[in-house]
Amino acid sequence: MWLVYSILTTLSWGFADLFYKKGNAPNDKSSHIKTVVMVGVVMGIHAFAYMIIKDVPFSLRYLIIYLPVSFMYILSMAIGYFGLRYIELSISSPVQNSSGAVTAILIYIFFTHRLSFIEISAIILITVGIVALAFFERRSGADAIPHREEDKKYRIGFLAIIFPILYCIIDGLGTFADAVYLDELSLIGEDQALLAYEFTFFIVAVIAIIYLFAKGERISFKGEKDRGLAAVFETSGQFFYVYAMAQNAIIVAPLVASYSAVAVVLSRIFLKEKLTTAQYTMIIIVMLGIGMLAVSEVL
């Protein structure tokens, strides 16, 4: 079932990326904080409902045990939300989501795993496809930028590059820690990990709301349709992701990272952006890698 969970995660997070982009407000300095609030609130609602409906045993101990993983995930996502204002025409989500390959390499180095030729080939294809997509997005973005100093500062300067790099590193470490917690050492159950992460995000959202109120800002939940949909898809993906990681972390990590390819396609369809031939080619390569992982599961 790990493959099914992985595909559902990939699709969910692909749609989440789309609505993150639609909901981003470059002129609102608190845009990323409001996104954190929406995601945290939705996750909190889901966590409470899931715990009650499934009668999952949960205590503060699980929250503390899983805190390092939750912290890295939430930090990377907050950085990603903030960076959206800088990467519209320079570096897109494929750069951030190359973290999956980093995680697979870390797991391979620190733990004993045997990968088949098909699995290794699939990981290479997915990784190459994601990195190439990032390159083509970067190049097309640079070509589209007016050559004015203020545009260069915000589109291709240091800030435009540092945020997706930070996201990649921190998220890769978080996913590696997740693999250790769920798959390698089984320090916590899937249900408890899911609830710990979502409750932690909810606590962060409450803190963010208090911060906005202290600044004299208000957040209207009725007017947050795009961020709300992003939060729903984010939470759905997280639900499937935990169960996928618990079963086959070293394969799931790079597979799920391919949701950036889904996000690129969706942004072209719904945001009316265009794909180049090279981008189509890389997306096909990523999808081929996913298909090879599916074959390796059957064999």
What are the Cα distances from residue 224, in Å, to 23, 86, 188?
A: 8, 21, 34
Take residue 214 and report the two structure tokens written for it: 């202290």
What average pLDDT does the segment 140-169 reach? 58
- 8: tokens are 């559902």
Question: What is the C-alpha radius of gyration for the chain, rounded to an integer number of angstroms?
Answer: 19
- DSSP tag of 97: T
Q: Which structural domain range is residue 223 located in?
A: 2-298
Give 66's DSSP letter.
T
Report whether 76 contacts 174 (CB < 8 A): yes
Confidence band, pLDDT 50/70/90 cuts, at residue 147: very low
Measured distance CA(74)–CA(232) in Å, rounded? 16
Statement: residue 170 has pLDDT above 80: yes
Mean pLDDT is lowest, of 1-5, 66-70, 97-101, for 97-101
Banded pLDDT at 107 (limits 50, 70, 90):
confident
Counting Cβ atoms within 10 Å, is residue 258 exposed (0-12), middle (13-18) or buried (19+)?
buried
- CA 8, chain centre distance (Å): 13
Burial of 38 (0-12, 13-18, 19+ CB in 10 A): buried
Cα separation, 142 vs 139, whole angstroms: 5
Residue 66 pLDDT level (bands cut at 50, 70, 90): very high
Instruction: Reply yes or no on whether the pLDDT at 207 is more than 80.
Output: yes
Mean of the per-residue pLDDT values for the chain?
82
| Structural domains of the chain, count | 1
Helix, strand or coil for residue 173?
helix
pTM for the predicted model, two decimal places: 0.81
Tokens 């990195």 correspond to: 131
Closest residue by Cα to residue 35 from 183, 165, 187, 224: 224
CA separation for the pair 90, 139 (Å, rounded): 7
Q: How far is CA 133 from CA 96, 165, 278, in A?
A: 11, 15, 8
Q: Is the pLDDT of residue 272 over 50?
A: yes
- Tell me the pLDDT band of 156, cut-offs 50, 70 and 90: very low
Q: Which two tokens stand for residue 137?
A: 């997005």
Eight-class DSSP state of 120: H
154-163: b (≥16 Cβ within 10 Å) or e? bbbeebbbeb
How far are the Cα atoms of 85, 134, 140, 146, 181 from residue 143, in angstroms, in the given order? 18, 14, 5, 8, 43
- Other beta carbons within 10 angstroms of residue 189's beta carbon come to 17
Could you give the percent of the chain with pLDDT greater than 90? 35
Distance between CA atoms of residues 22 and 28, nearest Å = 14
